[in-house]
Amino acid sequence: MSVIMVVTFTVIWSPYAWVAIWIIISPHSVPLALTTLPTVFAKTSSAMNPIIYFIMNPNFRGEAIKVLTTKRKMNRVVDAATLAFKQRIR
């Protein structure tokens, strides 16, 4: 799993790094549209780790499914937090 995470991180951040190096070497030759895509692509890196964990780790997958399917408990927790927040505002 660690190898997959490192490879994913490298693949996702490489275009951003290459464009950054290109900008340092020749700042006026890089089209603005070309700088946007690697930036958005690099930001998906933060979403990839949970996906990799979900696919590769049965314990994580089981707990994630519990959290995502336990609607009532989560609503009660959110309602209690909202109520506490509203009481502090008054």
pTM over 0.75: no
What are the helix (H) ranges across the chain?
2-25, 32-43, 45-56, 58-69, 71-89
State the amino acid at position 48 in one-letter form. Answer: M
Evaluate if residue 1 carries a pLDDT over 80. no
pLDDT in tens, 42-72: 888 888 888 888 889 889 888 888 888 876 5
Domain map (residue ranges) of the chain: 1-56, 58-90
